[in-house]
Amino acid sequence: MRLFDAHNHFHYPIIQEAGLPELLQTLEEIGLRKAVVNGTTEEDWTKVHDLAEEIDWVLPSYGVHPWNIHETSPQWESTLIRHIEEGCGIGEIGLDRGRAEASFDRQVPIFRRQLEIAADQNLPTSIHCVKAWGPLLEIFQEGPLPERGFMLHSYSGSAEMVDQLASLGAYFSFGATILYSDKTRALEAFTKVPPDRLLLETDAPNLLPPDNRIAYRLPKESANHPANITSVYQSAAERLGKPLEDVVSQIEENFERFFLK
């Protein structure tokens, strides 16, 4: 199978400590073709860059995550622009009214600036949003937005917002959340997403699948192995009532259109 992970953090030490050769072998065995690896701090960007040089399935993505805004240097913007000149995406960026240290007022201009850079260069962008859907929608409506659209990672907005966001150019990415039967809000939204706007992800090492659906384990058992993208694909097929092969080819098409063109 040809699998595509739209959002992870493969460079995190908690994954890397499993040993690169073994990780690469497992990911080759499951058929991983591409994964978007998101650096979330300036320090991270160098690590993501180095991995992308070494591994051909790594698509590097650079951004300041709302959780890391409080630790940015005054030069973050010029450093970001230097990184994206090498060809890549912007992310993970976003807004978070749940657990970010930086105030919401501080988050908004930094998010806007990064979205503007993405729009300016028409780059694929990975967006995190927690409890900030109203303000996010306003920012999208004001624009500018990348012509290719933008991706809402681990979508947690309502099912009702799906159409409106899709008309603004949204792609919706889902991870292990869809493996949990009690995540009714996410599941409802998941089934509303237009087939050509759906993407799948692990967010590894975050978002571990439920215990009985963990196919691959890292040395640190609370961390999610990126090869668990297999479980996300299986669950997506089950929830959509479609053959796995159909989901696999639809995701490949969507991933290529959004990230690789």
- Least distance to Zn ion from the beta carbon of 9, Å? 6
**Cβ–Cβ under 8 Å, residues 71 and 40:** no
Only one residue has tokens 């912007």, namely 90
- Least distance to Zn ion from the beta carbon of 167, Å? 25
**Cβ–Cβ under 8 Å, residues 96 and 129:** yes
The binding site for Zn ion (CB under 5 A) comprises 92, 203
Determine the Cα–Cα distance for residues 174 and 251; give it in Å rounded to an integer: 11
Determine the Cα–Cα distance for residues 172 and 185; give it in Å rounded to an integer: 14
- Least distance to Zn ion from the beta carbon of 38, Å? 6
- Least distance to Zn ion from the beta carbon of 121, Å? 21
Structure tokens at 134: 């109203």
Nearer to Zn ion, 92 or 96 (CB): 92
- Using the Cα atoms of residue 115, residue 118, residue 119 and residue 120 in order, give the sign of their dihedral: positive
- Least distance to Zn ion from the beta carbon of 249, Å? 25
- Least distance to Zn ion from the beta carbon of 138, Å? 23
